[in-house]
Amino acid sequence: MARNGVARACVCRGWTGMHLWRNEYGPFMYMAQMKFCRRLIVVPLSAFHRMAQQIGDPDGQLIFLFNTTRCGSTLLTQVLFLQNSKTSQSINQSINQVQVMLVTSRITLKGKNTIIGYL
């Protein structure tokens, strides 16, 4: 999202105690965000990146599974979610959006790699 030429990050907040990334609210996070969003928080992308740097990387190992449609990835995500020690997310639109920005020349390859480092 851009306003007055400034790229902005949008974060949806649900009801208190809701974790919209959890599969209990729907198979895809973006659907849960649309359905349960009670407050939309919009900040300049540069501020969002500063917050991410202050928080730091998550503990543990990150694994990205890339796939094609209709391949069973949603089922796999839900199975992983049932393991209490695992967090899973199906269809992360952030990564898709970064690729769109690269293809439409709104960011450089260096910019893409920097952003992916924050995701």
Which pLDDT does position 32 carry in this prediction?
A: 81
The 3 state secondary structure assigned to the chain is CEECCEEEEEEEECCCCCCCCCHHHCCCHHHHHHHHCCEEEEEEHHHHHHHHHHHCCCCCCCCCCCCCCCCCHHHHHHHHHHCCCCCCCCCCHHHHHHHHHHHCCCCCHHHHHHHHHHC
Mean pLDDT (whole number) for 8-35: 81
Q: What is the pLDDT of residues 37-96, one digit of tens each?
A: 888 888 888 898 899 899 988 787 777 666 666 778 778 777 877 777 666 666 656 666
- Parent domain of 72: 2-118
- Total structural domains in the chain? 1
Write down the pTM of the prediction. 0.52
Which pLDDT does position 34 carry in this prediction?
A: 78
Which pLDDT does position 119 carry in this prediction?
A: 47
